[in-house]
Structure 1
Amino acid sequence: MSRQKLQDRLKMKKVEPSHGEQFNDLLRYVFQVTNHDLHTFGWENREIAKAKLPVLKQADVLGWFDGDKLISQLAVYPFQVNIFGEIYDMGGLTGVGTYPEYANLGLMSQLMRTALANMRERQQSISYLYPYSIPFYRRKGWEIISDKISFEVKDTQLPKLKTVAGNVERLSIDHPDIRDVYRRFALNRHGAMLRSELAWEEHLRWDLDDLTVAVYYDDNQQPQGYLLYWIAEEVFHMKVMVYMHGEARAALWNFISAHFSMITRVKGHIYTTEPLAFLLEDSDIKETISPYYMARIVDIHRFVKQYPFLPQTTECQLTFTLHDPMLEWNQGKFTLKVDEQGRGQLMEGGGNPEAAFDIQTLTTMLMGYKRPAYLAQVGRFQAQRATIELLEKLIERKIPYFADYF
């Protein structure tokens, strides 16, 4: 059969809960999840299907069908993120996959265009995803906006105990104080996800059964931090540590150090630009930085309207051209005006452009992951020095924190 005839018989439509088994089978094939993997995490096929059912009910799941067979798919979660103190509706792209015999037909590009248009209609002006191929998603308009630092600390390098006013308690993973701490943390951390019930389910979906939670309570018995961890083969594995202040961080490291006689190493991940080594007395530890999540602006007009630029002494403006490889409404010449309070207004057209961006560069710059001066230096855009200095003054100096996975 010719490829044209094959394409003609394919239909794009919404993936419903009744397609749950096919949705699941395609995910397992594309990401090579084996039965051994499932048993390692204590999952069975029926449990995965049951766990993924909320995705098909709550997410926007699109697919290509060959007759009744689901052969290509993606899902968009309805999430929210904190961007410099403003809460944005975010489309979380996941479950992306196509069976190899249907590759190179442009199916995924069409699914993505439709999904992005749907995000725009839902006023989700930004999208996040975990990249299984950074070059592929860059070509579609996404760019890196966060890092993950993996570390390994020997038992002899654990920090010495510090005096704190409160105490640490081990609790069940569904204790409400954990969600209370994270909610307060996320509301004060640029880039972080504000977790709905669905987001919490995804955050914990693939964790081992013996995952434990330690919560720090201050001297007023208020929860101020928590640690998700497990211990296996004399290794203390830290999934994530969340804390509201330095005292909570010190208390949680006290708790880890209390396991000195039980472990030989501590391994884990942190999702901040502050390497752990500097905080330890013995800083000669192993740390590996790797890119983590990517993002792309879906609707430049809505994104800018909500974006909190830094306040200025006088109103300022910038005319630029923007290129988006997939979305026509993000294409063309725009003029940005920012008033003294930092409120931005974007208008189409303007005078001579002072800079030219692609959507990838503009996304990572406005998210604060890379500074304007750096991006200009490495050739991601060209502009006069005055324009670069203006962008530096407009964008707050904070790098996104993102510890979720979906």
Structure 2
Amino acid sequence: MANIKKMEKDHLEEMFQLAKYAFHFEETEERRKRFQYIATHSENYGVFQAANQLTSQVMNTPFTVNFHGVTYTMGGIGFVSSYPEWRGQGGINQLMTDILRDSYQKGQVLSYLAPFSYSFYRRYGYEWVFERLTYEMNVTDLPVVERMLGQVIRVTPKEGKTAIQHLYHASEQSKKGGLIRDDWLYTYKYELKEPNSYMALYKNEQGVEEGYLVYEMDSDCLVIKELVYISLEAFYGIIHFIKSHQASFVKCRYETGQNQDTVSFLMPEPSVKRSLTPYMMARIVSMKAFLEQYPWSVSQERLSQLVFRVKDDEYAPWNNGWYEWRLVEGQWQVCQQIQAEEVTPDKLCIEGSIQGFTQMLLGYQKPTTLAFFQQIKGEQRAIQLLDELVVTMPPVLDDYF
């Protein structure tokens, strides 16, 4: 009979062997160290069969994210794996059920994951919200920029840590649902996960860091992994630094989280190849907590005209019901009602699945678009009001776990 339990440090090698088998990666000490490092910072769930054999596992790593100035707790799902002979027997289903329940009870508000199949994870309430934009071009296609008086210096992850952490968290792209990179995550990302990457910092004439670059050298291609700047001077300085490599590299590839700030209009030949690909999925684990902290663009008094109804959230049934804003002792509060009769009458109701609300509230799709395709439903004036209230900038994620 199957036994489900949380795994501790004495299970790390079993977990690594299952992940290696399921994902077909090479067994090296470097990879083992990286896997065990993130596992020790995660909650690890396993299905054990007779003779205490680990047959399926899921890792849930606690993170925090910055969503337009609001800090949300988030669980990152990773290393979902089973031995082939145990697939399709309900192990992963039970693990996901337990993880979502435990996440809710511990106060996690959101959950992200990188899917092997989008349709598979939709059954658990997840939906596609993140994209990746890739530019493929010649180095000479990069924008023509002025030479700055500051300088770019190459640094190791340890040398650049303080400045890079500060610049990342100060950048706008980190505030659209991106991870808040704690010290352990910085180590995992730059020292363990991307050991072949180079780092460079841009310092202005006064010696103040204003941008950084993370890049790799792949044959005849320079791959930009991360380009962050908080001033135009830093952008110019880093682009000039990249173009200084054109004697060594013919091509350049730039991978970034999709957002509304593309730089192709600055290029001398903007018809470079650009490809947009689906990336991670997300779901709201606690609808009430998410709404209570949400960065609405107007006062909550205007929200009092609306009621949200979440339907058919099978794996997080605590989300089902009606949500309205009521004035309680002089303060606006989100109130969840289980029965329709409990809802204040004559309010504008918007209803949908947890997937529809996740895409709308995280800014991936506008309410009018979701309503047109019947992913949410409501009166036209309710949908139009929502267009004014919710975040409409697509979320951005520049990390992988």
Q: TM-score, normalised by structure 2?
A: 0.90
1:241 to 217, 222, 227: 227
1:215 to 167, 189, 201: 201
- Structure 1 residue 281: Cα displacement: 2.0
More off after superposition, 209-218 vs 19-28: 209-218
1:185 aligns with 2:185: no
CA distance, structure 2, for counterparts of residue 343 and residue 222 of structure 1: 43
Q: What code does the residue aligned with 2:66 have?
A: N
Q: What code does the residue aligned with 1:401 have?
A: V
CA distance, structure 2, for counterparts of residue 338 and residue 257 of structure 1: 58
CA distance, structure 1, for counterparts of residue 127 and residue 142 of structure 2: 36
Where does residue 272 of structure 1 map in the other structure? 258
Q: What code does the residue aligned with 2:41 have?
A: Q
Percent pairwise identity: 28
1:49 aligns with 2:41: no
More off after superposition, 306-315 vs 366-375: 306-315
Change (3 A) 1:147 1:162: same
Answer whether contact 1:307 1:344 (CA < 8 A) is retained: no
Change (3 A) 1:140 1:338: farther
Where does residue 79 of structure 2 map in the other structure? 95
Residue pairs, 1:353-392, within 5 angstroms: 354-392=349-387
Q: What is the aligned-residue RMSD (CA, Å)?
A: 2.4
Where does residue 53 of structure 2 map in the other structure? 69
Change (3 A) 1:344 1:260: farther
SS at match of 2:171: helix
CA distance, structure 1, for counterparts of residue 299 and residue 270 of structure 2: 40
Answer whether contact 1:63 1:74 (CA < 8 A) is retained: yes
- Structure 1 residue 113: Cα displacement: 1.4
Unaligned runs of 5+ in 2: none
1:335 aligns with 2:324: yes
1:136 to 113, 120, 125: 120
Unaligned runs of 5+ in 1: 1-8, 36-43
- Structure 1 residue 163: Cα displacement: 3.5
CA distance, structure 2, for counterparts of residue 337 and residue 84 of structure 1: 24
CA distance, structure 1, for counterparts of residue 156 and residue 134 of structure 2: 25
Where does residue 41 of structure 1 map in the other structure? none
- Structure 1 residue 343: Cα displacement: 6.5
Answer whether contact 2:38 2:188 (CA < 8 A) is retained: no
Where does residue 29 of structure 1 map in the other structure? 21
- Structure 1 residue 156: Cα displacement: 3.0
Deviations 1:346-396 (A, max 9, x none): 321414772221001101111111110111112212211111012112112
CA distance, structure 2, for counterparts of residue 246 and residue 394 of structure 1: 31
Where does residue 39 of structure 1 map in the other structure? none
Answer whether contact 1:186 1:194 (CA < 8 A) is retained: no
Change (3 A) 1:65 1:86: same
Deviations 1:33-91 (A, max 9, x none): 135xxxxxxxx1x3333333333332111110013211111111110101121011111
Where does residue 317 of structure 1 map in the other structure? 305
Change (3 A) 1:243 1:343: farther
Answer whether contact 1:164 1:247 (CA < 8 A) is retained: yes
Where does residue 236 of structure 2 map in the other structure? 250
1:172 aligns with 2:160: no
Q: What code does the residue aligned with 1:325 have?
A: E
Change (3 A) 1:312 1:302: closer
- Structure 1 residue 257: Cα displacement: 0.8
Change (3 A) 1:128 1:188: closer
Answer whether contact 1:152 1:286 (CA < 8 A) is retained: yes
More off after superposition, 152-161 vs 344-353: 344-353
More off after superposition, 385-394 vs 269-278: 269-278
Q: TM-score, normalised by structure 1?
A: 0.89
CA distance, structure 1, for counterparts of residue 114 and residue 222 of structure 2: 26
CA distance, structure 2, for counterparts of residue 302 and residue 314 of structure 1: 18
- Structure 1 residue 127: Cα displacement: 0.7
1:345 aligns with 2:328: no
Deviations 1:225-283 (A, max 9, x none): 11111223221111111112332222211111111211110012011323342231210
Where does residue 5 of structure 1 map in the other structure? none
Divergent runs of 4+, >6 A: none
Deviations 1:111-152 (A, max 9, x none): 111111211122111111112211111121111222101111
